[in-house]
Amino acid sequence: MNSEVSERIHVCFFPFMAQGHMIPVLDMAKLFSSRGAKSTIITTPINSKILEKPIEAFKNQNPDLEIGIKIFDFPSVELKLPEGCENVDFINSYQKPDAGDLFLKLLFSTKYMKQQLESFIETTKPSCLVADMFFPWATESAEKFGVPRLVFHGTSFFSLCCSYSMRTHKPHKKVPTSSTPFVITGLPGDIVITEEQANIASEETPMGKFMKEVRESESNSFGVLVNSFYELEPAYADFYRSFVAKRAWHIGPLSLSNRGFAEKAERGKKSNIDEQECLKWLDSKTPGSVVYVSFGSGTNFTNEQLLEIAFGLEASCQNFIWVVRKNDNQGENEEWLPEGYEERTKGKGIIIRGWAPQVLILDHKSVGGFVTHCGWNSALEGIAAGLPMVTWPMGAEQFYNEKLLTKVLRTGVNVGATELVKKGKLISREEVNKAVREVIAGEEAEERRKWAKKLGEMAKAAVDEGGSSYNDLNRFMEELNGRK
């Protein structure tokens, strides 16, 4: 689109304080900037530290583009939260008895920023506000000053459609138990799930009431931005626009806005491995021979489960990179690692304790499969990299994403996870071994690999000039400009 037109657009982004919400919003802000808009990301003091370095790297590469951070005050202690509790990462490593309610407390405490948001909107008069679904109060704040509010859920059209159909038709009310499978009524395709996997918060619970506010706020908003591309889930993109949201634009995969090495390496937290060393190790492996194993920033496995993963990977005889999230309270204690494991798997496997440069690894030609928790950011990064996946959903909307990968796209193999991780079901080393081998070398692996590669090519075409996501972003920016 005409750069003189887009230069007049100022987009404010307000992500929820969690890695999985902030990273795609950072990608989105960079994408809008690269198309000529001015981007401002609103965040809190501690979270600003996560964003500063990648933004600096982006600005160094693109000195003419406008992108910045606006910091809002968030006094955690005054808000009856532990000191420094500004991010879900804090909660994941918080080992005290009240950790369970801490997420809800953080969620409700964000309303403290409402006044700051309104003052900011009033003085800067942005073209629009893209606010996380977890800020339902943002719609009213933006409306007050005639600014359109866009909702960002950070998930797929498919999972949004599943949630809508579950709420509308309530098929889970027609089965005897929470573990009885049923078909989700009214959706394209026969999608089979259980009530437990659907993970619906009862409307009587604080979370259920909050999600009702989220839906009401969304119905009053200007529309929805979706991190997906049309060719990936056309039936569900059409369904969503017909029945759920009055307006929705697909602008993904957002991770593909990171073109260079520095951008991919600086995305998210600082890696716990030297990126160049990691790439050098991958360079030494045969194309498609490495399985990448990572379960996102919010998963805490028991030592027993980690032990099963370790033995399963070793038994698979595949090359692997395994990312293990360090629990701050474990210290140097590594009871989960079998004795002599790293010596035995030397040359075959790398264990990264902490944060990994995921996009950099997934894009490498030696990687042939991805073991994932099915969080949408990870799933879409795997799709964009053209990889088949071993699916291991844990909670949130991950079982929906898992159904998309295994039943609709048919690029995923389930490891055997059938219930929420908090129920404590152990996935055995045999199941891990079987799923990893199936994805890399099983009978259907070749067909799965071909289709995954095709999806990766479609993802890249969608964000290139003239592609479906490129054009949808154009339409959105033109609509914004037409409001001036």
> Are 306 and 439 part of one and the same domain?
yes
Q: Tokens 């095709």, residue?
A: 454
**Total Cβ atoms within 10 A of residue 172:** 18
Predicted confidence at residue 4, as pLDDT, reads 45
Short-list 313, 288, 316, CA closest to 456: 288
| CA atoms within 13 Å, Cβ hemisphere of 140 | 10
Q: Give the catalytic positions in this structure.
A: 21, 132
- Amino acid of residue 376: W
How many domains is the chain built from? 2
Residue 300 lies in a domain: yes
> Are 243 and 379 part of one and the same domain?
no
Q: State the CATH number of the domain containing residue 207.
A: 3.40.50.2000
Let me know: does 436 contact 416? Beta carbons within 8 Å.
no
> Are 373 and 240 part of one and the same domain?
no
176: CB partners within 8 A, 6+ apart? none
> Are 154 and 124 part of one and the same domain?
yes
> Are 206 and 291 part of one and the same domain?
no
Short-list 131, 28, 154, CA closest to 72: 131
> Consecutive 10-residue runs of the chain (484 residues): their mean pLDDT?
59 97 97 96 97 92 95 97 93 72 94 99 98 98 98 98 96 95 95 95 92 96 98 98 94 90 68 86 97 89 94 97 73 77 94 91 97 98 98 96 98 95 92 96 90 98 98 96 80
> Are 247 and 296 part of one and the same domain?
no
Structural tokens at position 90: 């804090």
Short-list 388, 140, 142, CA closest to 288: 388
Short-list 151, 156, 116, 154, CA closest to 130: 151
Residue 419 lies in a domain: yes
- Per the structure, the complete domain to which residue 389 belongs is given by 271-459
How far apart are alpha carbons 1 and 155 in whole angstroms?
27
**Is 292 in a helix, a strand, or coil?**
strand
Predicted confidence at residue 329, as pLDDT, reads 47
Let me know: does 210 contact 186? Beta carbons within 8 Å.
no
> Are 58 and 90 part of one and the same domain?
yes
Residue 320 lies in a domain: yes
Q: What is the DSSP string of 95-120?
A: -STTHHHHHHHHHHHGGGGHHHHHHH
> Are 202 and 293 part of one and the same domain?
no
> Are 225 and 168 part of one and the same domain?
yes
How far apart are alpha carbons 378 and 372 in whole angstroms?
7
Residue 265 lies in a domain: no
> Are 246 and 282 part of one and the same domain?
no
End-to-end CA distance of the chain: 16
Structural tokens at position 473: 């972003």
Residue 264 lies in a domain: no
Residue 262 lies in a domain: no
Let me know: does 393 contact 271? Beta carbons within 8 Å.
no
> Are 253 and 275 part of one and the same domain?
no
186: CB partners within 8 A, 6+ apart? 165, 168, 169
**Is 364 in a helix, a strand, or coil?**
coil
Supply the angle between the helices 99-109 and 206-219 in degrees, to the nearest 10.
Answer: 30
Structural tokens at position 251: 């602008």
Let me know: does 67 contact 28? Beta carbons within 8 Å.
no
Residue 266 lies in a domain: no
259: CB partners within 8 A, 6+ apart? none
Structural tokens at position 88: 């879900």
Predicted confidence at residue 98, as pLDDT, reads 64
How far apart are alpha carbons 179 and 425 in whole angstroms?
14
- Amino acid of residue 208: G
Predicted confidence at residue 442, as pLDDT, reads 76
How far apart are alpha carbons 458 and 449 in whole angstroms?
14
Residue 100 lies in a domain: yes
> Are 295 and 216 part of one and the same domain?
no
Predicted confidence at residue 1, as pLDDT, reads 47
Indicate the pTM of the whole model: 0.95
| CA atoms within 13 Å, Cβ hemisphere of 364 | 28
For the chain, what is the total number of helices (H) and then of strands (E)? 21, 15
